[in-house]
Amino acid sequence: MKEVTIDNQKWPVRFDFSAIKRILPLFGYDSLKDANDMLVRMSQMDIPLDAVTPMVRAVVRSGLMAAKDERECPTIEFFDQAIDEDLQLVANVIIAMSDAPDEDDQPQKTTPGKPKKRITKR
């Protein structure tokens, strides 16, 4: 699970369907097919100002749920203040959202497969 540090605390970040459905309308989209356009805009930091704080909160909220972290998701005001104190926070969240999954996020093979017999022709 990716994390960002906010106010000297580590918070999990996850960009999943729950976050997408909360963020899409903030970008003026109303369909899942627009998610790719939204991701392109986010990677270019083309984010509507009204969407910045709710976007950060949405991915932290999804991270908390995925990590089964029982902390309550902070308020919009908490994130507003954190962004005021460190504008790099927005970039850090976007980077965490777009990074390849951690090894912990990869599906684990539960049973090893049988080794295949090697056939050689003589």
Domain ranges for the chain: 2-103
pLDDT of residue 97: 85
pLDDT tens per residue across span 33-80? 999 999 899 889 899 999 999 999 999 999 999 999 999 999 999 999
- Which amino acid is it at 34? D
pLDDT band at 108 (very low <50, low <70, confident <90, very high): very low
Given a contact cutoff of 8 angstroms between Cβ atoms, the answer to whether 82 and 6 are in contact is: yes
In the chain, count of helices (H) and strands (E)?
5, 2
**Average pLDDT score over residue span 15-22:** 93
Q: Which residues of 3-33 are buried (b: 16+ CB within 10 A; e: fewer)?
A: bbebeeeebbbbbeeebbebbbebbebeeee
pTM above 0.95, yes or no: no
